[in-house]
Amino acid sequence: MDFLKKIFGEKVSISELIANGAVVVDVRTKDEFQRGHLRNAINIPLDRLPDNLKKLDRNKAIVTCCASGSRSATAKNYLRSKGFEQVYNGGSWISLRS
């Protein structure tokens, strides 16, 4: 069974992660973020992520989001490559809002 979890991934409730204190990192541009965002989300544009890793706690769950889910997927993969283990792609910030 663990083999299957590794292949297909374990289902995770993003809303549960957020309710339990996960940090929401919105990787859209500053202008996009200012037009609307999730309460308590922090804005680290994708192109600035490498310079801002120290702002993130490696021991906390992180949920990435953007406009469509594409940049947040890239951010999730980047953070995981840098040793962050609890990183999840939340997709669109608008879908997270609901």
Among the listed residues 14, 46, 56, 66, the single catalytic one is 66
> What does the pLDDT look like over 54-89, one tens digit per residue?
999 999 999 999 999 999 999 999 999 999 999 999
Pairwise CA distance, residues 44 & 64, whole Å: 10
Decide: pTM greater than 0.95: no
Examine the pLDDT at 23 and tell me if it is beyond 50.
yes
Half-sphere exposure of 40 (CA within 13 A, CB side): 10
| All domains of the chain in start order, with CATH | 12-97 (3.40.250.10)
66 is catalytic: yes
**64 close to 90: Cβ distance less than 8 angstroms:** yes
**40 close to 62: Cβ distance less than 8 angstroms:** no
Bridge partners of residue 62, in order along the sequence: 23, 87
- Segment 44-51 shows an average pLDDT of 98
> How many other CB atoms sit within 10 Å of the CB of residue 57?
11
